[in-house]
C-alpha cells in the first residue's frame, strides 16, 4: 500500500505543476497523438503504449510505476500563387502567406499498479489541442495595404481516466472510462486601413466537458505475437461558448454546441523477432467513421490510418526506434499527412528516458492557391519503477 500511496502522491503533485509549465501555444488543433514517446518514435503508434486509447496495453513489469511526458511542436504554413507573364506562362511562384510557430506543454501523467491478473492505470492526458494562431496582411495588386486579419485560439480538452485490464488464457480484456474537461478562448480581428470600412472584432470564451469510454481485446501467442482490437465509443463533447462581438447590435452571444468524436475501430499487431539484436515490429490500422456525422453543413470522409514502426534493442540499456505514418484528413481524404519518426530510449536502473522526433508534411492546391503545412514534433517522457 505504501507504493500505491507514493504513486498517488507523485501523480497529484505533478498535476499541480501543469498550469505553470506550459509555453505560449499555437498550432493547428487536433487529437494530440502521439503523447507517449515510444509511440511517437514508432510511426505515431500510441495504440501500443497509451492505455487511454488501448486499455489492453500490458505493462512489461510487475512493478508499480509512474510516467510523465511532454511535447513541443514547430509548425509552418505557407501559401503561394504562380506569377504569369504576358503570354500566360507561369514564370515563378510567390508566397502570399508564411507563418511559423512554436509551442509546447506537458502531455500526460500516468500511474500503474498490478493486482494479481489485473492491471490498473490512472492518468491525465492533454487529449485534444484546440490551439491555433493565424495572421495575414492583405494587399492589392499594387501592394497597398488593405486590412490585417488575425485569429488566436488557446485551449485544450484534458482527459482524466481509469483503465483496467484482466488476463486470462492468453487473452487480455480491457476497458477505459474517461472524464473530459477543459476551457479555451478564441480572439478574432479584421482591421481595415480604409476608415470607410467597419472593423470586425470578437472575443469568445469556451468551456468543454464530456465522458468517453472504450473496450478492447488482445491475444498473446507464445509471447512472440500479439493481436489487439479496440472499439472507441462515439463521444459528445459539450462546448459552452460566450462571444463578445464588437461592431454588432448584440454584444454577447451565448450558445451550446457539441463536438462529436465518431466511432473509432483500431487493430494492432505486435511481433517480437528473436534476432541476435532483439527487434519488435509494430503495425496498427485505425478506422474513423466520420461520415456518420454528415449533414446539411458537414461533409466528412471516413478515414483509414496506417502506422508502422520497428524497435531495435541495441543493448540492455539502449533501444532505437523508427517508423512511418500515413494519416489522411477527414475533410478531404485526398490530403494525407505522410510522416517519418525516430527515437531513442536510454535505461538507467529503474528509470527509462525516451526522446522521439516526428516530421510530417502535406501539400495541396485549392482555388489556384498552393498550400504547404509542415509539422516537426518533439516528444519526451520519463518513467520510474518502484
pLDDT tens string for the chain (386 positions)? Answer: 544 444 444 333 333 333 333 222 223 346 777 789 999 999 999 999 999 999 999 877 677 889 999 988 888 888 777 776 666 666 666 766 777 777 778 889 999 988 888 999 999 998 888 777 777 777 776 777 888 888 888 888 899 999 999 999 989 999 999 999 999 888 988 888 888 888 888 888 989 999 999 999 999 988 889 999 999 999 998 989 888 877 555 567 888 888 888 899 999 999 998 776 789 999 999 999 988 888 767 778 888 999 999 999 988 899 999 999 998 877 776 778 888 999 999 999 889 999 999 998 877 777 677 778 888 889 999 998 87
**φ, ψ (nearest 5 deg) of residue 233:** -70, 145
56: left (phi over 0), alpha (psi -120 to 50) or beta: alpha
CATH among 3.40.50.150, 3.90.650.10, 1.20.120.420, 2.40.160.60 for 2-385: 2.40.160.60
Contact 231, 263 (CB under 8 A): yes
Bridge partners (DSSP) of residue 204 are: 186, 243
Long-range contacts of 94-100 (CB under 8 A, 24+ apart): 96/369, 97/136, 99/133, 99/134, 99/135, 99/136, 100/74, 100/75, 100/76
Domain residue spans in the chain? 2-385
Count of beta carbons in the 10 Å neighbourhood of residue 261: 21
Give the CA dihedral 192, 195, 200, 201, nearest 10 degrees: 90
C-alpha cell at 258: 457539441
The confidence score (pLDDT) of residue 8 equals: 43
The confidence score (pLDDT) of residue 319 equals: 94
- The model's pTM: 0.82
Cell 482555388 appears where?
367
Count of beta carbons in the 10 Å neighbourhood of residue 71: 25
Distances (CA, A) of 385 to 8, 63, 114, 347: 14, 6, 12, 11
Grouping H, G, I as helix, E, B as strand and the rest as coil, residue 37 is helix
Amino acid at each position: 500500500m505504501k507504493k500505491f500511496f507514493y504513486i498517488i502522491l507523485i501523480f497529484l503533485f505533478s498535476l499541480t505543476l501543469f498550469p505553470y509549465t506550459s509555453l505560449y501555444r499555437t498550432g493547428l488543433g487536433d487529437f494530440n497523438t502521439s503523447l507517449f514517446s515510444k509511440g511517437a518514435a514508432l510511426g505515431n503508434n500510441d495504440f501500443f503504449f497509451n492505455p487511454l486509447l488501448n486499455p489492453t496495453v500490458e505493462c512489461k513489469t510487475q512493478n508499480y510505476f509512474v510516467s510523465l511526458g511532454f511535447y513541443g511542436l514547430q509548425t509552418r504554413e505557407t501559401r503561394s500563387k504562380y506569377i504569369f507573364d504576358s503570354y500566360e506562362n507561369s514564370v515563378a511562384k510567390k508566397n502570399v502567406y508564411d507563418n511559423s510557430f512554436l509551442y509546447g506543454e506537458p502531455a500526460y501523467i500516468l500511474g500503474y499498479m498490478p493486482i494479481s491478473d489485473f492491471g490498473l492505470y490512472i492518468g491525465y492526458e492533454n487529449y485534444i489541442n484546440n490551439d491555433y494562431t493565424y495572421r495575414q496582411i492583405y494587399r492589392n495588386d499594387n501592394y497597398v495595404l488593405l486590412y490585417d486579419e488575425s485569429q488566436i485560439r488557446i485551449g485544450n480538452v484534458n482527459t482524466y481516466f481509469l483503465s483496467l485490464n484482466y488476463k486470462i488464457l492468453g487473452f487480455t480484456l480491457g476497458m477505459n472510462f474517461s472524464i473530459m474537461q477543459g476551457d479555451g478562448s478564441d480572439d478574432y480581428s479584421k482591421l481595415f486601413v480604409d476608415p470607410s470600412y467597419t472593423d470586425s472584432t470578437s472575443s469568445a470564451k469556451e468551456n468543454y466537458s464530456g465522458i468517453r469510454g472504450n473496450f478492447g481485446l488482445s491475444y498473446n501467442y507464445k509471447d512472440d505475437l500479439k493481436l489487439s482490437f479496440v472499439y472507441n465509443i462515439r463521444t459528445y463533447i459539450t462546448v459552452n461558448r460566450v462571444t463578445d462581438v464588437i461592431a454588432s447590435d448584440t454584444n454577447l452571444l451565448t450558445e451550446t454546441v457539441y463536438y462529436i468524436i465518431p466511432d473509432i475501430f483500431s487493430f494492432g499487431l505486435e511481433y517480437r523477432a528473436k534476432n541476435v539484436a532483439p527487434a519488435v515490429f509494430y503495425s496498427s490500422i485505425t478506422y474513423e467513421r466520420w461520415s456518420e456525422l454528415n449533414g446539411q453543413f458537414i461533409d466528412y470522409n471516413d478515414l483509414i490510418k496506417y502506422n508502422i514502426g520497428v524497435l531495435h534493442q541495441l543493448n540492455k540499456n539502449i533501444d532505437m526506434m523508427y517508423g512511418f505514418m500515413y494519416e489522411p484528413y477527414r475533410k478531404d481524404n485526398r490530403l494525407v499527412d505522410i510522416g517519418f519518426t525516430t527515437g531513442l530510449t536510454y535505461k538507467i536502473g529503474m528509470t527509462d528516458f525516451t526522446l522521439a522526433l516526428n516530421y510530417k508534411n502535406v501539400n495541396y492546391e485549392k482555388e489556384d492557391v498552393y498550400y504547404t503545412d509542415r509539422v516537426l514534433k518533439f516528444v519526451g517522457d520519463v518513467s520510474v519503477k518502484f
